Structure 1
């Protein structure tokens, strides 16, 4: 087969003697994994490249950060997931660029990897809106390292408050600031408040953990801005019931190891968490492609890059519009659907069949938890809140977990937490990847 895929609808059917078609997938998240699992074809070799050796179930990452789940329940080795697929090769390396002329992916450590078709599913990282110097003081939540760092800081703050005799320092240690009131920020605030109010009080002698302050800051007018207002209002009421201070229409203007400055007011704190925004990976720069304000590549309706029919971009790396012109949300189901769509396109191309479909996103609903027994769910015409939404949230997340062992482990952890009122992963481990101050 030629090294170059012909335009959609005209790809030839490979002969048994032709060289295998080389599909390279950069990124082992929901999009990349959904593609690789959906695609098996004669004469096709798949290479998955990721800078980490595991697939991460990000929707539950905040539960690692807040002591509910251990890391092993939300991450799985990519190699193990494809151990029975001889057509799949996994490489642990960091991509530094793409040579579109020579059709090679450039790696930090290894030799360049050639491709016939390239799929970039490299995700997003947290954005500090031009203030990257804030990251040491307020880590975001995108990786296992981030989650264990946040868990370490939260638990260490209570331990240090137990030791100190300085009242002001104790107040700062018992103040937890979360910046950004999207789903991640709301979920973090709710669980940290539960930890302070209901789980930790019997375990400390010198401090009353119930006096801890959890402060949720949002620059916009309401929490959960992507949800309908009635669910947003319910979430804010539920947070306040847990003791969370909700500050909407307030923007962070400065950060330091002393605290967070919000609309000119300094809040002393030793634990701040960033959940305010994301920016795409540098994929647009690798390709020299047009990007939106968040750095996402503007793609064609079939998710290919304009001028490059052999390159697809999916997931949080891609700027994809729905039929009404609104953006496809950066959710795991959306990335998974895009991966499955690209698999269908490539099957048609490799079979020499006409293929002119465009990607159509099918929204499966949005869910967010507020503490352990309350949640909101938006399915369009159907909107749920409270305990019923919380149970539905749990069932949905267990269903989407990879592997029977993971589903059983998470279900048992949640059941233990629900019955006993205690969390099972309350360990201070590993070093702080953002700062040496802890």
Structure 2
């Protein structure tokens, strides 16, 4: 790095929080370096729609360099961070390079958590990256292709059974969309199978789905899923995942496609800093979002454990990360200007939203609750608003309108692997 008199701010991660911090800080007389192991910013709330063939990857991801190119004081680097030396004030990369910082912002997000059962991951992939989404899309579509060739009825039923573990928003959205894909989109495409016989099972260890919503909205969502043909299994903890399917206690549920939506763990930022963390690995940050004992290191987004005024935890959602990114930018700007720092970070909830298929959703804004088609349109408008760029907003809106009117999904592409595992002779 070229030496400079400008205060150097290093941001690890170009998700919602990191990108928001970079854009706000770039207005000042500072030097900024953004490091990410991928070259794109991802709109994770719509990642499940790539996994279920509703949207193309290019509609929910944008090159980081392009997003920050207008800021001449921002440098974007592609690299994987492996640690932080807080004494030397350097960020360590996997190729043995080190980048010095004056102020560090860690916004590295989260990864899948299998609650000590990491051996399940090959059988039950999670959904956090574009690679995850295209892998899941391939598995879903390949299951139908293999069933078309399969002469054995029992094996065909297994191939056409989709088990989703975890009934938070991601699990519910996956289950509803897979059911619509089987019952509507694909029903005329095959000759040897009836895709409407596909079984979609949503498994939740807790007493109800969408535990973050009120009980009435949760009950509505379960009813909407049932009407789509989804089998909801609550109060059931998965005891085993494997090639044959999943085990719920003593019961074996044969399923060829298993998807994990049950839990996440923070990045190893707490280990890098030697900082205290909660059970999910999130750094227990100070009220100004700095790491304890490190006033020059801020931690935001899914990597941070931030309590709210009512004793809960700030949720790992895009609006929260963006609020934290803006707050940190304001705090650093005030410090450099010799002004008083802002008050302790206070999260402002914009509400909870979840969609169930293409015609129903639930919305809880606190002061008003919506469900059904009106909630679905509200959900759609909110997500289109947060997309980056007019082109992407128009593309996603047109894709949704086409799916809404026709039921057809154009992104039904199988990539990355040969799906014909075995074909009967003759």
Q: Same fold (TM over 0.5)?
A: yes
- In structure 2, the residue matched to 1:107 is 93
Consecutive unaligned residues of structure 1, counting only runs of 5 or more, are: 1-16
In the alignment, which of 393, 412, 418 is matched to residue 404 of structure 2?
A: 418
In the alignment, which of 97, 102, 111 is matched to residue 125 of structure 1?
A: 111
| Aligned residue runs from structure 1 range 232-381, under 5 A | 232-381=218-367
In the alignment, which of 117, 127, 144 is matched to residue 158 of structure 1?
A: 144
CA distance in 2, matches of 1:334, 1:363: 8
Q: Is 1:52 the counterpart of 2:41 in the alignment? A: no
Q: How many angstroms does 1:354 deviate by?
A: 1.5
Q: Is 1:66 the counterpart of 2:52 in the alignment? A: yes
- In structure 2, the residue matched to 1:36 is 22
- In structure 1, the residue matched to 2:186 is 200
Please tell me whether the aligned partners of residues 93 and 110 of structure 1 are also in contact (alpha carbons under 8 angstroms).
no
1:29-83 deviation digits (Å, cap 9, x = unpaired): 0000011111234430100011111000000000000000000001000001111
Q: How many angstroms does 1:109 deviate by?
A: 2.0
Answer with 259-268 or 56-65: which moved more: 259-268
Q: Alignment partner of 1:202: what SS? A: coil
- In structure 2, the residue matched to 1:21 is 7
CA distance in 2, matches of 1:40, 1:75: 22
Q: How many angstroms does 1:356 deviate by?
A: 4.7
Please tell me whether the aligned partners of residues 122 and 317 of structure 1 are also in contact (alpha carbons under 8 angstroms).
yes
Please tell me whether the aligned partners of residues 209 and 218 of structure 2 are also in contact (alpha carbons under 8 angstroms).
yes
CA distance in 1, matches of 2:193, 2:342: 65
CA distance in 1, matches of 2:80, 2:65: 16
Answer with 404-413 or 350-359: which moved more: 350-359
- Count of equivalent residues: 420
CA distance in 2, matches of 1:377, 1:358: 29
Q: How many angstroms does 1:431 deviate by?
A: 3.7
Q: How large is the RMSD of aligned CA atoms in angstroms? A: 1.5
CA distance in 1, matches of 2:269, 2:374: 40
CA distance in 2, matches of 1:373, 1:95: 42
- Change in 2 beyond 3 A, CA 1:89/1:231: same
- In structure 2, the residue matched to 1:179 is 165
Q: How many angstroms does 1:110 deviate by?
A: 5.6
CA distance in 2, matches of 1:28, 1:436: 38
- In structure 2, the residue matched to 1:92 is 78
Please tell me whether the aligned partners of residues 94 and 107 of structure 1 are also in contact (alpha carbons under 8 angstroms).
yes
- In structure 1, the residue matched to 2:209 is 223
CA distance in 2, matches of 1:401, 1:24: 25
Q: How many angstroms does 1:437 deviate by?
A: 7.4
CA distance in 2, matches of 1:123, 1:18: 29
1:78-115 deviation digits (Å, cap 9, x = unpaired): 00111111111111111000000000000002610000
Q: Alignment partner of 1:203: what SS? A: coil
Please tell me whether the aligned partners of residues 291 and 298 of structure 1 are also in contact (alpha carbons under 8 angstroms).
yes
Q: Alignment partner of 1:394: what SS? A: helix
1:184-242 deviation digits (Å, cap 9, x = unpaired): 00000000000111111111110001111000000000000000000000000000011
Q: How many angstroms does 1:306 deviate by?
A: 1.2
CA distance in 2, matches of 1:437, 1:266: 23
Please tell me whether the aligned partners of residues 41 and 347 of structure 1 are also in contact (alpha carbons under 8 angstroms).
no
CA distance in 2, matches of 1:172, 1:105: 48
TM-score by length of 1: 0.94
Please tell me whether the aligned partners of residues 299 and 306 of structure 1 are also in contact (alpha carbons under 8 angstroms).
yes
Q: How many angstroms does 1:258 deviate by?
A: 1.1
Larger relative contact order (CA 8 Å, sep ≥ 6): 1
CA distance in 2, matches of 1:193, 1:363: 31
1:266-319 deviation digits (Å, cap 9, x = unpaired): 111110000000000000000000000110000010001111110000000000
CA distance in 1, matches of 2:4, 2:157: 70
In the alignment, which of 367, 390, 399 is matched to residue 404 of structure 1?
A: 390
Q: Alignment partner of 2:53: what SS? A: coil
CA distance in 2, matches of 1:27, 1:295: 17
In the alignment, which of 48, 62, 67 is matched to residue 81 of structure 1?
A: 67
Q: How many angstroms does 1:421 deviate by?
A: 1.4
Answer with 41-50 or 264-273: which moved more: 41-50
CA distance in 2, matches of 1:402, 1:436: 38
Q: How many angstroms does 1:381 deviate by?
A: 2.6
Q: Alignment partner of 2:310: what SS? A: coil
CA distance in 1, matches of 2:147, 2:302: 39
